[in-house]
Structure 1
Amino acid sequence: MTIQTPNSFTPSASPMSGQRIRHPRIAATIEECRLMLDAGDNANLIVLCGPTGVGKTTLGDFLVEAELTAEATTLSQDPGYMPAIRLEAPASGERDFSWRLFYQRMLDALEGELDAPRTAYGIDPESGKVVRPVGPQTNRLSGLRTAVERSLRNRGTRFVVVDEAAHMMRQCHPSRLVEQFNTLKSLSNEYHVQWILLGSYDLFELVSLSAQLARRTHVIHFGRYREDVAEDVRSFRGCLKKLGESMPALKELDLLRYAEVFHQNTLGCVGTLRTVLVRLNLLVAEKDWSEDTLCKALLTEAQVTQIMREIVEGEERIAPGLKRNLAVQQPQTGRRVA
């Protein structure tokens, strides 16, 4: 996979997500993620924390697309091979996190490709016909887990991207959090599958649950573009320009004239910027351009205040935990060490 240089902004289009750009911050984060994927069992869980609207979902899509591109030759020879998938951790409304729904979503992602040979329990891989499953029933949690294990093995899946992974922590009693993530770690150990967990700053608490989880977890901070960092300001302006050029009603407008307004309003989060620009594009197409139209597309002060509060609290929480100390503790020998 080719990582973009700091000054490049490569657009990507998707039927589901529309225009996307691989901007400098996301390119650097992708590079670190892929390096940790090479660590294999030494990084079972890759936790990627960041503020709302920073572009975590887009990052997950890019990671999966890059893996599929890199494995194109193998995929052409083996249609059942599926090296990477992405799914969203469910917020089912239940009191506890629904592993049943989570496993079902995994099976849908792994077995949903109609052109690929089916491997789930209940489907004969040779004929594709439904057969009576032997062993645990797939409508039970144990049966779903068994089906997921078999599918991961047969598909040769290397990593699974889980978006909104903080749901796994919020919908669980604190006393059961270790058990919750040990479930993922066990799948990783048995089938050499790595998990990339995307979510809010709440996910950072994962490293404090147990020594075993802390040892096998790598944390990456996917931060916003800050207004007090000159390089970040330049990069944000590049994102604004590239996204504006991709939208029909905005491509002829000088949006950089309002770059500071967009930066303050979206707090330097490119996903939020894209949301604002999509709304602005619709409004301009309907009512033509004016500063009043721009104001209608922007987030309200109450929205900005709430998002900013969460960002500041999250950054303050994660900053001390990401420090690496190179100081060496000297042995207690009774003599002064020069």
Structure 2
Amino acid sequence: MQQKHSAPLSPIPNSASTLLGKRIKHPRIADVMSELETLIYPGSQDSTLLVCGPTGAGKTTLARYMVEAAVERAAVEMEENAGTIPAIFVEAPSSGENEFSWRLFYRQILAELGDDLDAPKSAYGIDPQSGRMVRPRGAGGNSLGALRTAVERALRERRVQFLVIDEAAHIIHQTRNSSRLEIHLDTLKSLVNKCGTQMVLVGSYDLYPLMSLSGQLARRHHVLHFERYRQDRPEDVRAFVACIQAFEKMLPALWGGELTRYAEALHENTLGCIGTLSSVLVRAARLAKADGRWSTEALRRALLTEAQRDRILTEILEGEEAINPGLTRIMPTQRRQASAGGRSAA
């Protein structure tokens, strides 16, 4: 971003909080949503759909739009049957434990489905000799098995079509070895088999290695690439500028028409990730409010540092290198023709 010493604009209102929670349904979200909606249907062989992309690209926004759209489409059905919940959103828990916490995960699902988990649950019975109520030995209603049974029942009864699991990479990060990770994924797959609810795992490029755990898992998973807006693609540059303009329209009194002129610098600094762009602009707005006036310097201080940007870029390039060959591979006949063409040219 080139240094500019233009006079600061007039004092700004307390509008930084306006950007918090604001979402932009930009083209990348619309494209991935369309593909997901095509692949989510009863009886699908894709038990799990993986949405992978760089940090800050807007994957959580996508996930929430997916659930909201499903609820909107099912409005009539939900009015006729108040118990219907077509889709739910949960975040894979990062509990600090050595292993992924299925107990906490199941509780989150049940909470989203409206189950009351405040009171401890126990299965009681009647002693045939005394006639008194007794608590049977063994697992209570809060055991892991009981929670799993409750989740299965709730997903079926609520007719949940799909379950979005955000930050799904937590499952990988909290798993000690690949064999245990395969068990976790088999557990998710069994939920699909029992309930007919498809799983949409959303996360960073860390999710992509799940494809290599086993052939069975690979067959039942499908990967969607949630890409950033690249600077070497004119259509991506135009889409990114349109997002900046959308943010500008949210707070015209704050930006004063000055934001779009820095589109190229913002694109480079945020690496074309709209979530990161949003974070930068929220910081800029807060800094401007603290200063009492909007200025270029407020925006400059809000940008990612070079160290931050370089680290994110490294992860993006490694992720794109891993995922793109699988998404751009050619058919075997095309490969043979290309090979033959190469030999002929030689």
TM tier relative to shorter chain: 0.7 to 0.9
Matched, 1:142 2:150: no
Structure-2 residue corresponding to 1:233 = 237
Maintained 8 Å contact 1:41/1:188: no
Name the CA distance, whole Å, in 2 between partners of 1:80 and 1:122. Answer: 24
* TM-score where L is the length of structure 1: 0.84
Structure 1, unaligned stretches of length 5 or more?
Answer: 1-14, 114-119, 124-131, 331-338
**Of residues 178, 186, 199 in structure 1, which corresponds to 2:190?**
186
Is contact 2:42–2:196 with CA below 8 Å preserved after alignment? no
Specify which structure has the bigger relative contact order, considering alpha-carbon pairs within 8 angstroms and separated by 6 or more residues: 2
Aligned to 1:294: 299
1:29 matched to 2:20? The reply is: no
Q: Distance in 2 between matches of 1:186 and 1:88?
A: 19
- Of 145, 158, 161, which residue of structure 2 is paired with 1:155? 158
Report which of the two structures shows the higher radius of gyration computed on alpha carbons.
2
- Counterpart among 281, 285, 288 of residue 281 in structure 1: 285
Are the structure 2 counterparts of residues 17 and 57 from structure 1 closer, same or farther at C-alpha, using a change threshold of 3 Å?
farther
**What's 1:52 paired with?**
55
Match of residue 246, structure 2, among 242, 245, 249: 242
Alpha-carbon deviations, 1:199-221, whole Å to 9, x = none? 01111111111111111111000
Tell me, what secondary structure is at the counterpart of 1:176? Answer: helix
Aligned Cα RMSD in Å?
2.6
- AA partner of residue 272 (structure 1): T
Instruction: Confirm or deny: 8 A CA contact 2:178 2:213 kept in the other structure.
Output: no
Counterpart residue identity of residue 268, structure 1: G
C-alpha change, 1:329 and 1:278, in structure 2 (3 Å) is closer
Residue of structure 2 equivalent to 1:108: 111
TM-score (normalised: structure 2):
0.82
Distance in 2 of aligned mates of 1:146 and 1:23: 39
CA drift of 1:312 comes to 0.8
**Equivalent residues in 2 for 1:1-338 (5 A)?**
18-38=21-41, 40-111=43-114, 136-172=139-175, 173-247=177-251, 249-287=253-291, 288-328=293-333
Partner residue, 1:10: none
Q: What is the CA–CA distance in structure 2 between the aligned matches of 1:89 and 1:133, rounded to whole Å? A: 33
Q: For residue 45 of structure 1, what is the amino acid of its counterpart?
A: T
How much does 1:55 deviate? 0.3
Change (3 A) 1:238 1:40: farther
**1:183 aligned partner, one-letter code:** T
**2:44 counterpart SS class:** helix
Deviations 1:217-250 (A, max 9, x none): 1100001000111000000000011012213653
User: Residues 121 and 33 of structure 1: is their aligned pair in 2 closer, same or farther, counting only changes over 3 Å?
Assistant: farther
Give identity over the alignment, percent.
49
Provide Cα deviations, 1:172-212, integer angstroms capped at 9, x if missing partner.
12221211101000110111100000001111111111111
